[in-house]
Amino acid sequence: MRSPLALTLTGSPVVTGAENIRAYWRKAYGHVESADLKILSWSWDEAIARLTVWWQLGDTRASEFMDFDETGRVARSEAFYGK
């Protein structure tokens, strides 16, 4: 996965491997006691098997896309953050 937050937390904008991605998410959001995550919108593009989600948590807004492989697993993802 690729994220500007990953660059801040890990020193690299790219995080690979399931265990490393789990560790990244724990480091990024493990301190959140109540996840008042709001899904603002989402879009599925069947032609390229891409899910895009726009969400907000507190004053943080983000969009993320996930590309799925033929087995239904996320093969690539990228996040974009704003206020």
What's the rounded Cα separation, in Å, for the pair 78 and 15? 10
Bigger pLDDT: 58 vs 13: 13
**Rounded to an integer, what is the distance from CA 67 to the centroid of its chain?**
11
pLDDT of residue 56: 92
pLDDT band at 50 (very low <50, low <70, confident <90, very high): very high
pLDDT for residue 46 = 97
Topology, domain 4-82: Nuclear Transport Factor 2; Chain: A, (3.10.450)
The 10s digit of each residue's pLDDT in 32-41 is 777 788 999 9
Whole-model pTM: value is 0.72
d(CA 7, CA 23): 14
**Tens of pLDDT along 57-68?**
888 899 999 999
Report the DSSP pairing between strands 50-57 and 38-45.
Answer: antiparallel
What is the pLDDT at residue 36? 83
**Residue in 22, 67, 69 with CA at minimum distance from that of residue 77:** 67
Domain ranges of the chain: 4-82
